[in-house]
Structure 1
Amino acid sequence: MDSERKTILFVCTHNAARSQMAEAIVNHLYRDRYQAYSAGTEPTEVHPFARRVMAELGMDMGRQRSKSIEEFSSRDFDWVVTLCNHARETCPVFPAGYKRVHMGFEDPAAAEGDEEEMLESFRTVRDEIRDWIDGAILRTDE
Structure 2
Amino acid sequence: MTDKIRVLFVCTANAARSQIAEALLRYTNSERFEVFSAGTQPKSVHPRTYEVLKHLSIDTSDLRSKSLDEFEGEQFDYVITLCDKAAQECQTLPGAGERLAWNFEDPVTSEKPDAFRHTLHEIHERIKMFVLVKTRS
TM-score normalised by length of structure 1: 0.89
Return the alpha-carbon distance in structure 2 between the equivalents of residues 89 and 124 of structure 1.
24
Return the alpha-carbon distance in structure 2 between the equivalents of residues 63 and 3 of structure 1.
20
Q: Which amino acid aligns with 1:5?
A: K
> Number of matched residues?
134
Structure 1 residue 52: deviation in Å?
0.1
Does 2:55 align with 1:37? Answer: no
Contact residue 9 and residue 38 of structure 1 kept, 8 A:
yes
User: Which string of whole-angstrom CA distances, capped at 9 and with x for unpartnered residues, describes residues 20-73 of structure 1?
Assistant: 000000111210110110000000010000100000000121331100001112
Where does residue 11 of structure 2 map in the other structure?
12
Contact residue 82 and residue 101 of structure 1 kept, 8 A:
yes
Return the alpha-carbon distance in structure 1 between the equivalents of residues 108 and 116 of structure 2.
8
Correspondence list, 1:1-142, <5 A:
3-91=2-90, 92-95=92-95, 98-112=97-111, 117=113, 120-135=114-129, 137-142=130-135
Contact residue 28 and residue 128 of structure 2 kept, 8 A:
no
Structure 1 residue 95: deviation in Å?
2.5
Contact residue 52 and residue 116 of structure 2 kept, 8 A:
yes
Q: Which amino acid aligns with 2:68?
A: I
Return the alpha-carbon distance in structure 2 between the equivalents of residues 41 and 104 of structure 1.
15
Q: Please identify, of 58-67 and 30-39, the stretch whose mean Cα deviation from structure 2 is larger.
A: 58-67
Structure 1 residue 19: deviation in Å?
0.1
TM-score normalised by length of structure 2: 0.92
Tell me the percent identity.
39
Unpaired segments ≥5 residues, structure 1: none
Structure 1 residue 139: deviation in Å?
2.2
Return the alpha-carbon distance in structure 2 between the equivalents of residues 134 and 86 of structure 1.
24
Q: Secondary structure at the match of 1:79?
A: strand
Q: Which amino acid aligns with 1:49?
A: R
The CA RMSD measured in Å over matched residues stands at 1.4
User: Which string of whole-angstrom CA distances, capped at 9 and with x for unpartnered residues, describes residues 100-140 of structure 1?
Assistant: 10010010001237xxx3xx1100000100100111x2222
